Amino acid sequence: MNEARTNVVVRKEQPFDVGAVRSVNLAAFPGEAEANLVDELRANGKATLSLVAVQDERVIGHILFSAVTLDSHTGQNPVLGLAPMAVLPALHRQGVGSLLVTAGLDHCKRAGVGAVVVLGHADYYPRFGFRSASAFGVSCEYDVPDENFMLVELAEGAASDISGVARYQPEFANA
């Protein structure tokens, strides 16, 4: 475990974090799209779960979960999409992203979320339990390689209640 992970706390985003969350997203991504997406989702009441990683009272990472819809969803447990996630570049590969994902999935599970989908790197997300979503009969609305669209089931049997195309909130189309 690396030094930089010490004293890192993951907590829910608060109103006073908004500027720092935008700064982290601007620093981590090449353009403004993700920072704007986070602001739009929040403003539209669609930031279902927004967590920050804080070290020495400084926001160093952020993760967002928002609702996704499916062609078929017969169960009661909501399905969320993990996106975006960002860590200050100087602190990459020190476990901060992993802390955010783990804490996020834990919050989701306790809130009764059935499953979480993610569009991301196939070497990264399986360590948190994600598997190719196609194995569950779920595909992504975007044309992406099969291995990059993944799903983790958080409530037992929840993945068998869903199938078809998963669609993110409309705000993602502009990102």
Part in contact with ligand COA (CB under 6 A); list of ranges 15-23, 44-52, 115-123, 156-164? 115-123
| 114 binds ligand COA, rule: CB under 6 A | no
| 83 binds ligand COA, rule: CB under 6 A | yes
Binding mask 5-44 vs ligand COA (x if CB under 6 A, - otherwise)?
A: -----------------------xx---------------
Part in contact with ligand COA (CB under 6 A); list of ranges 44-52, 67-75, 77-85, 150-158? 77-85
| 93 binds ligand COA, rule: CB under 6 A | yes
Residues with Cβ within 8 Å of 136's Cβ and at least 6 positions away in sequence, in order, are 115, 151, 153, 159, 160, 162, 163
| 84 binds ligand COA, rule: CB under 6 A | yes
Among 124, 137, 148, 163, indicate the residue that binds ligand COA (CB under 6 A).
124
| 58 binds ligand COA, rule: CB under 6 A | no
Part in contact with ligand COA (CB under 6 A); list of ranges 10-18, 81-89, 129-137, 156-164? 81-89
Long-range contact pairs involving 9-13 (C-beta distance under 8 Å, separation at least 24): 9/53, 9/54, 9/55, 10/51, 10/52, 10/53, 10/54, 10/99, 10/100, 10/103, 11/51, 11/52, 11/54, 12/49, 12/50, 12/51, 12/52, 12/107, 13/47, 13/50, 13/51, 13/52, 13/62
Closest to ligand COA by CB, 83 vs 152, is 83
Residues that bind ligand COA (CB under 6 A): 28-29, 83-87, 92-98, 120-121, 123-124
